[in-house]
Structure 1
Amino acid sequence: MKYTPPSRDAVDPRVFDRLPLAAWREHAGFLEARDWPSVDALNACRPAGMRERFAAQTRELLADGLHYEQRIADRGVIATRACNWHDLFNALVWLCHPALKRALNARQVAEIARMGTKQRSRAQCALTHFDEAGAVVVLRDPSLLALWDAHDWHGLFWRERAAWLDGRIGVELFGHALLEHALTPEKLLVGKALVVAGPQVLPAEAFQACAQAIADGRVLCDPLELRPLPLAGVPGWHAGNERETFCREAACFRPLRPGRNYPAAMTIGQGASVATDNPVPTL
């Protein structure tokens, strides 16, 4: 079912004080002000070195006949609809993580050149899933991965609840559709995750590792590489997870399908080198 976000004046302002949207307080003015930000205001916040710019999506802009992704690659223009939550969150992700967005765009354009605009490859589906619903998980305690592999949600989110609070595991949202859905606090959010493991890995390093792996074509070659992560189980992300039974009852906590396997996490060691073991996923 297609998600219809609340109008700007109907959003409960309290959603911006709780995760995941609380992590985006740097751009509170764009999110919480009464009026929608202009593309000029968004462009004024671009980080140094970001060549891409936002442009109002108008009939004149679309008259160039370019695919959305090709327009970004060829002209550095990100078509942005006015008064639109989805495109606003997309813009904020560009402002915060331009290298990762650029890596996704380059891979999409390469796939379009190979497949044409009428068909989509498995890689394109994986890239889109991550772009829309992606999450980057920082894993400092590798023992937690076995619980995730088994879809032992009670173990991952309740028995190991402290791990989410003491830094042994953490999650940063990347997908702009997920951020849009978070405007409705009762939504049971599920992310499509890439995992970066290391004893002292920082979120910035994890995002850099993901961007490099995507650019190199080592990840996101198939949607089945992405690990589903029911974000509603993360402490502080949904009021229901304060009850032990939540991870057994809520619809987002699905059992592991027979034969479903996940690739190993990317790892960052002492020298910040990145490795990944990415076998072909199975259903």
Structure 2
Amino acid sequence: MVTELGPDPNSGGPTQALVQSPIAAIDWSAPWLSPWREVGQPVAQRVQAGQAQPAALNMTVLARWPATQEAPVEFVPQDALPPGMAYESYIFETKQCPTREGLHDFFNGLVWLHFPLTKRRLNQLHVAQIARTGIAPVRGPARDALTLFDENAALLRAPDALWNALQAKEWGRVFGDLRGLWAESCLVLFGHALLEKLVFPRKPITAHVYRAYPATDSIIDMDAWVAASLSDEVLATKPFAHLPVLGVPGWWAGNEAQGFYDDASVFRQARLACL
């Protein structure tokens, strides 16, 4: 059961957090935040008004999953995680997500709210890996791939020509000859660390792009398709293309400038295969 925690920000509670919270730095007009704005901005306002992040997120859980429906997760303070217990195992066993204050866990919470099926699938795969290998200081390739997806993935529905050029890092085609195909595509940033980094946009920020084939461009359909597609075998193939996200047309005014895509330190060429 999800419970509300902390003060109601509309009750005249503390307002000091309005100035101090890093959540205040989020620019909700950023194009990449369009899928997150409707839900995320009210949560952010509650946090800025002084409510703890787990409580602010749980208010949305209560609204989206009423008592007649089982919520995918409840957000709890970080100290609810027992010492020595793996974070992913705790979520799997309790359906509670330990949540710290700050941008990183704020965006993790938003991803749970929008992509509950995918987040649950990632959690299941993590726990299965822990059962096989235990909790080791260094993660193996499978858990590395899972973490990479969770932290830094972007989901893309795109025509074949654009996807193939992106995989090959043919930047002149991706952002030049094929630029118009971006209007026919749907790109959603999924990784919560990726979303966190973009609060302070920098040209080198790069996503690991996973190609999706949802029935429509709705988040619900995207979530269902991605969750059903994920497995250790799929992730072991490293099914990602690299995308400097501020190069996406319409996402950053600077990419309209001549020479923006000529920066080889950001728009790197594909490595030649060894013979």
Take 2:50 and 2:258, find their aligned partners in 1: how far apart are those partners?
Answer: 40
Aligned with 1:225 (options 211, 234, 239): 239
Matched, 1:143 2:143: no
Q: Rate the CA distance shift 1:162–1:54 in 2: closer, same or farther, 3 A.
A: same
Among candidates 54, 57, 64, match of residue 42 of structure 1: 57
Aligned to 1:269: none
In percent, how many aligned pairs have the same letter? Answer: 32
Answer yes or no: is 1:177 the counterpart of 2:193. Answer: yes
Q: Which runs of 4+ in 1 moved over 4 A?
A: 9-13
Equivalent positions of 1:50-89 (< 5 A) are 50-58=71-79, 61-63=80-82, 65-82=84-101, 84-89=102-107
**Contact between 2:186 and 2:217, CA under 8 Å: does it hold in 1?**
no
Residue deviations 1:142-197, cap 9 Å, x none?
122231132011211122222112x2x22101100111111103353211111024
Q: 1:221 to 1:150 in 2, by over 3 A?
A: closer
- Write the letter of the residue equivalent to 2:93: D
One-letter identity of the residue aligned with 1:99: L
CA 1:147–1:187: 2 relative to 1, 3 Å? closer
Give the SS at the match of 2:71.
Answer: coil
1:31 equivalenced with 2:30 (yes/no): no
Q: 2:118 aligns with which of 90, 95, 100?
A: 100
State the one-letter code of the partner of 1:254.
R
Name 1:114's counterpart in structure 2.
132
Runs of 5+ in structure 2 lacking a partner?
A: 1-18
The alpha-carbon distance between structure 1 residues 181 and 9, as it changes in their structure 2 partners (threshold 3 A), is closer
Counterpart contact for 1:138–1:195, Cα < 8 Å:
yes
Distance (whole Å) between structure 2 residues aligned to residue 211 and residue 191 of structure 1: 19
Larger relative helix fraction: 2
CA separation in 1, counterparts of 2:73 and 2:25?
32
- Per the alignment, do residues 154 and 243 of structure 1 end up closer, same or farther by CA in structure 2, a change over 3 Å counting? farther
CA contact (8 A) 1:158 1:244 kept: no
- How far off its partner does 1:238 sit? 2.0
Corresponding pairs, count? 245
Per-residue deviation at 1:255?
0.8
Which of the residues 244, 248, 253 maps onto 1:234?
248
Q: Which amino acid aligns with 1:16?
A: W
- For the 8 Å contact 2:154–2:189, the answer to whether it is kept is yes
Cα gap change, 1:79 to 1:153, in 2 (>3 Å): same
Q: Which has the higher relative contact order, 1 or 2, with Cα contacts under 8 A spaced 6 or more apart?
A: 1
Deviations along 1:35-58, one digit per CA (max 9) or x if unpaired, are: 354322311212323242110012
Where in structure 1 are there 5+ consecutive unaligned residues? 1-5, 261-283
Contact 1:21 1:182 in 2 (8 A): no
3-state DSSP class of the match of 2:84?
coil
**TM-score of the pair, normalised by structure 2:** 0.80
Aligned alpha-carbon RMSD (Å): 2.4
Report the AA paired with residue 37 of structure 2.
R
Shift of 1:107: 0.2
Query: Given the alignment of the two structures, is residue 8 of structure 1 paired with residue 21 of structure 2, yes or no?
Result: yes
Structure-1 separation of matches of 2:37 and 2:143: 31
> TM-score scaled to structure 1, two decimals?
0.78
Match of 1:211 in 2: 227
Q: How far did residue 16 of structure 1 move?
A: 1.6
Evaluate the alpha carbon distance shift between residue 9 and residue 106 of structure 1 in structure 2; reply closer, same or farther with a 3 A threshold.
closer
